[in-house]
Amino acid sequence: MRRRVASSLGVLLLLGVLLSAEAQRDGADSAYAPARWEWQTKRPEEVGMNATKIREAIRWASAHESTWPSREMREAIARSIASEPFNDIIGPVKDRAGVNGLIVRHGYIVAEWGDTLRADMTFSATKSYLSTVAGLALDRGLIRSVDDPVKRYVDDGTFESPHNSKITWRHLLNQTSEWEGTLWGKPDWADRFKGEKRPYVDPGTAWTYNDVRVNLLAYALLRVWRKPLPRVLKEEIMDPIGASHAWRWHGYRNSFVRIDGIEMQSVSGGGHWGGGLFIGSRDQARFGLLYLRRGVWKGRRLLSETWIKDVTTPSSVQPVYGYLVWLNTDRQRFPSAPATSLFVLGAATNIIWIDPDHDLVTVVRWIEDQHVDTFMKLVLESVTRISDLKGERATR
């Protein structure tokens, strides 16, 4: 028995030495994070990747540009919601760029294509930034627990009905709140996947992708922070990670409220009716790298380890969804990506793919949904033996 244990330990130690040497050869440095105006690049072979396969992945993305929305964004959104009730656009919109993106390994840019600096609409990718603001509120003690009823923090009647009073922060973050009401002129049942009234169920028992209820979370967090959420995001996350000054987070023309005598805009969690986060792909990649580094940037912890763990925990009623982020549980969302992957995902497709297994962050925008998985497959095929060894170790 002792010999078998000693033998196993010897194999693990040897594997560790091999991994360490391989990591040094392919330029791995988990401490590296880019400065505000500089982002170091590496050739693919310097970080253990194959340049030919990367070019193939980029060609694939470029050849499969989204047909929706067209580059004339207002017209595209208007057409997409034309059959919905309450279908007026009430937030800013912006014509989009073409396909673009970048691949980051070990913190370094390995490949980049298209206009990655242009701040475009991100639709529901905004939700993950909103979730992060909630995480900051928890880390700062502004919210004591995700299982607290929201009505303890928002006392203006929004959560006072017998049904709504059961809603917790966890329910809002998991999109299981079943909140009943109207916000910014949009009733909860007006969202695109419903469009008709149905019986409500208890909060926490059903998952419904619903922008009205996500906007409700933004409003509730505004009441908690008592200052505009874009300011919170800028001061606590975007400035520390060196993001540009080009990004903007919009609300609606009718989403202004008065808090402590000051008029503030409550932002939206997507671009369904306009608004949401407008941001460039490079800034998206920085945000993804923060999550890849589990909330730490240049040695400074911006998000707690507890939050990182909780945000990536599957909902009890939707296994591929956490706190306003998409998960790849059992590889259900994208079969070619590792099950440990995390996705910041918006329509059309706007995606930040965070892959801890391969120390990768990949941003790709305006690619057709059905072609994203093949793109991921090609990216992973470019990764050389270090990832194979990691995968071998994980199966032991």
- Residue 26, both tokens: 């392919």
* Spans of the chain, pLDDT less than 70: 1-30, 192-197, 385-396
Q: Give me the pLDDT at residue 82, please.
A: 72
Rounded Cα–Cα distance for residues 287 and 229 (Å): 16
Task: Write the CB contacts of 326 (distance below 8 Å, at least 6 apart in sequence).
Answer: 320, 333, 342, 343, 344, 345
Q: What is the pLDDT of residue 72?
A: 86
Instruction: Give the per-residue pLDDT at 386.
Output: 53
pLDDT for res 197: 67
Cα distance between residue 104 and residue 359, in whole Å: 8
Q: Which two tokens stand for residue 167?
A: 């809603």
SS3 (DSSP) at 116:
coil
Is residue 77 helix, strand or coil?
helix
Reported as half-sphere exposure (CB side, CA atoms, 13 A), residue 14 has a value of: 6
Cα 147 from Cα 144, distance rounded (Å): 9
Q: Which helix (H) or strand (E) holds 186?
A: strand 186-187
CA neighbor of 90 nearest in space, from 261, 322, 268? 268
Q: Which of 177, 172, 169, 171 is nearest to 144 (CA)?
A: 169
Alpha carbon distance 347, 18 (integer Å): 41
Among 287, 292, 308, 303, residue whose Cα is nearest residue 241: 287
Helices and strands counted in the chain (H then E): 11, 14
With 0-12 CB in 10 A as exposed, 13-18 as middle and 19+ as buried, what is 392? exposed
Tell me which residue of 283, 333, 368 sits closest to 63, measured CA to CA. 368
Q: Which domains does the chain have, with CATH numbers?
A: 31-384 (3.40.710.10)
Cα–Cα distance measured from residue 363 to residue 344, given in angstroms and rounded to the nearest whole number: 9
